A and B are shown apart, each in its own frame.
Chain A
Amino acid sequence: MAGNPVKRNLSYEFLKGLWDESPIFRQLLGMCPTLAVTTTAINALSMGLATSFVLVCSATIVSFIRKLIPNQVRIASYIVVIATFVTIADLFLKGNFPDISKALGPFVPLIVVNCLILGRAEVFASRHDPFPAFVDALGMGFGFSIALTVLGTVREILGSGTIFGFLNFEPWVIMILPGGAFITLGLLIGLMNMIKERTK
């Protein structure tokens, strides 16, 4: 991977995060928040946006300072940059959206260890110029948010019977328990694989 990266156009860098290299459905990165906070669509979307904010900011900064950082301390430097933005996001949510902050609980501070963010910093941002790094992070963040929201929507509909205001069936409690997260994620990945096979 090191050395000269293959030059690709920016729209590819953006779009790959949505489908080809979807962080959740393809790379299976950042599973902890994926499984834990997708009990409702709104929680999932908030988590996705908070993670995207951290991802985009830290990828851009990492790309800017990549030539100044000695190789031996690069991971430590990335983590400090990431932790700074996570704390900013945490304080912002606590100050402006206390309900969402409460619902997400400890999972906002835990964005620090989301391997998606460190992964993009190490694999992409530290080897590219700031603008491509920004676009890549934006695409990955977007893909992450969409995937989380889809999971959250499915689980909220089946597990709580809400969203469209109908409550004609007994909700499946399992869907909002951790088990439901694994089941939904597995089925969605299977679905994506099926589509991919068909469109080959």
Chain B
Amino acid sequence: MNKIVRMIVVLGVIGLISGGTLALVYQWALPKIIENQIRETKAAIFKVLPETRSYKKVVKDELTYFECFDDRGERAGTAILCKGNGYQGEIKLMVGVNADFTKFTGLTILEQVETPGLGAKIAERKFFKQFKDLATKPPIAYVKGRPPEKPNQIQAITGATISSRAVVNIINKTVKEWLEIQ
């Protein structure tokens, strides 16, 4: 009996001390973590819409997007947060469209777990720069093994068609949903 009490007391005390310590550390770390997330979002918005000076976050239905304004306070465009399934897991990305929705202004991959050296190339400049100045209508299409001919086409990464297609599909689907709620 005595032994059982001792076991419970010792474990209880260790747990209490551990919990208390963690509460303190968490309080210290939380503002920094939030700050990092905000900085990350800002950096992403700036990458897809470089003219942005200020932005307003909008959450509507299941979509999150950012109305962006330039230095004169005029609408520069919208940065839309998109996510969907890639080859191995979820891909999160942000895509920018200009104010009158005629072209994409840029793409940045926020999170991806595609195959290193193959699908992971979607996060490389060579791939995502193709989305700059890409026509928004008709929806993006991809071509394999040759340079794109139409203004709405991009070239898929050799050996990683599934990842390339996933990016295109995620953007097309999210942009379509975004247009519906405008």
By a beta-carbon cutoff of 8 Å, the part of chain A in contact with chain B is 39, 65, 68-70, 72-73, 76-77, 80-81, 83-84, 87-88, 91-92, 94-96, 98, 102, 159-160, 171, 173, 176-177
Taking the closest CB of chain A, its distance from the CB of B17, in whole angstroms, is 8
Q: How far is the CA of A69 from the CA of B6 in the complex (A)?
A: 9
> Could you list some 27 contacts between A and B, CB below 8 A?
A68-B10, A70-B3, A70-B10, A73-B7, A73-B10, A73-B11, A77-B11, A80-B11, A80-B15, A81-B14, A81-B18, A84-B21, A88-B21, A88-B22, A91-B25, A91-B28, A91-B29, A94-B32, A95-B28, A95-B29, A95-B32, A98-B33, A98-B40, A159-B117, A173-B117, A177-B115, A177-B116
Q: Are A80 and B14 in contact (CB under 8 A)?
A: yes
Known: A80-B18, A95-B32. A72 touches B117 (CB 8 A): no
Q: Mark B1-31, 1 if CB is under 8 A from A, else 0.
A: 0010011001100110010011001101100
Chain B neighbourhood of A84, CB < 8 A: 18, 21-22
Whether B117 and A171, one on each chain, are in contact in the complex, defined by CB atoms closer than 8 angstroms, is yes
Contact of B118 with A by CB under 8 A: yes
Binding site for A on B (CB under 8 A): 3, 6-7, 10-11, 14-15, 18, 21-22, 25-26, 28-29, 32-33, 36, 40, 111, 115-118
> Residue on B with the closest CB to A84?
B18
| Neighbouring A residues of B7 by C-beta, 8 Å | 70, 72-73
Complex Cα–Cα for A96 and B21 (A): 19
B-chain residues with CB within 8 Å of residue A87 when the two chains form the complex: 22, 25
Chain B interface mostly? helix
| A-B complex: 9 closest residue pairs judged by Cβ atoms | A95-B32, A173-B117, A91-B29, A95-B29, A84-B18, A98-B36, A176-B116, A73-B7, A70-B7
Contact partners of A65 in chain B: CB under 8 A: 14
A92-B7 Cα distance, complex, nearest whole Å: 32
Known A91-B25, A94-B29; contact A177-B6, beta-carbon cutoff 8 A: no
A69 to B25, CA, bound (A): 25
Q: Give the distance in Å from the alpha carbon of A33 to the alpha carbon of B179 in the complex.
A: 44
Known: A68-B10, A81-B14, A95-B36. 12 other contacts (CB 8 A): A65-B14, A69-B10, A70-B3, A72-B3, A87-B22, A88-B21, A92-B29, A94-B32, A95-B29, A98-B40, A160-B117, A177-B116
Q: Given contacts A84-B21, A87-B25, A91-B25, is CB(A173)–CB(B116) below 8 Å?
A: yes
Determine how close the nearest CB of chain A comes to the CB of B20; give it in whole angstroms. 10
Q: How far is the CA of A70 from the CA of B26 in the complex (A)?
A: 30
Contact across chains for B117 and A70 when beta carbons are under 8 A apart: no
